[in-house]
């Protein structure tokens, strides 16, 4: 999943959570306030659904771009992981060599 897709899904989830929160609050509100809150909730749900549909269209229309970006991100991650593995391997090797030299110097 791409970073943009994750961010969009997170925003959609946050909108849904806020809608649920408003529903809970409306249960303890007076009738006139309840009506206003419920009307707003209906509007928010429509907006959320529109954002979700628009995101789906953009993703479908740009599938090749999304796929390329995802592949690039995965390859970059592999390169970074490899670089760190090499780096820490060298540090470990140098540390072992230093330990061996110290032990040899103590033995002399």
pTM of the predicted model, to two decimals?
Answer: 0.41
14 and 41 in a single domain? The answer is yes
Residues 6 or more apart whose CB falls under 8 angstroms from that of 15 comprise 44, 47, 48, 51
Please report the pLDDT score of residue 97 as a whole number. Answer: 78
- 54 and 79 together in one domain: no
Q: What is the pLDDT of residue 1?
A: 64
Q: What is the pLDDT of residue 28?
A: 61
pLDDT, residue 29, reads 57
Given 22, 42, 61, the domain boundary residue is: 61
Q: Are residues 44 and 79 in the same domain?
A: no
Q: What is d(CA 63, CA 98) in angstroms, rounded to the nearest whole number?
A: 52
Which residue reads 């479908």 in tokens?
60
Are 36 and 85 contained in the same domain? no
Tens-level pLDDT at each residue, the chain (108 residues):
677 778 777 887 888 787 777 767 666 656 766 677 778 888 888 888 888 888 788 878 888 887 787 788 788 878 887 887 777 677 777 778 777 877 877 776
For the chain, how many residues are written? 108
Residues 49 and 2 both lie in one domain: yes
Residue 104 belongs to domain spanning: 65-108
pLDDT of residue 5: 76
Instruction: Say if residue 13 is in the same domain as residue 50.
Output: yes
- Read off the tokens for 84: 């760190």
> Cβ–Cβ contacts within 10 Å for residue 21, how many?
10
What's residue 98's pLDDT? Answer: 76
Q: How far is CA 79 from CA 67, 71, 73, 84, 88, in A?
A: 18, 12, 10, 9, 14
Please tell me whether residues 3 and 49 are part of one structural domain.
yes
Opening angle at CA 99, ends 98 and 105, nearest 5? 90
Provide the domain count of the chain: 2
String of DSSP letters for 3-17:
HHHHHHHHHHHHHHH
């Amino acid at each position: 999943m791409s970073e943009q897709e994750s961010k969009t899904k997170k925003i959609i989830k946050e909108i849904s959570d806020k809608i649920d929160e408003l529903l809970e609050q409306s249960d303890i509100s007076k009738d006139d306030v309840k009506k206003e809150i419920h009307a707003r909730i209906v509007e928010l749900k429509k907006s959320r659904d529109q954002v979700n549909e628009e995101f789906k269209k953009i993703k479908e229309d740009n599938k090749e771009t999304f796929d390329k970006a995802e592949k690039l991100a995965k390859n970059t991650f592999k390169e970074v992981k490899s670089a760190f593995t090499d780096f820490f391997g060298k540090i470990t090797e140098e540390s072992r060599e230093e330990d061996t030299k110290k032990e040899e110097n103590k033995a002399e």
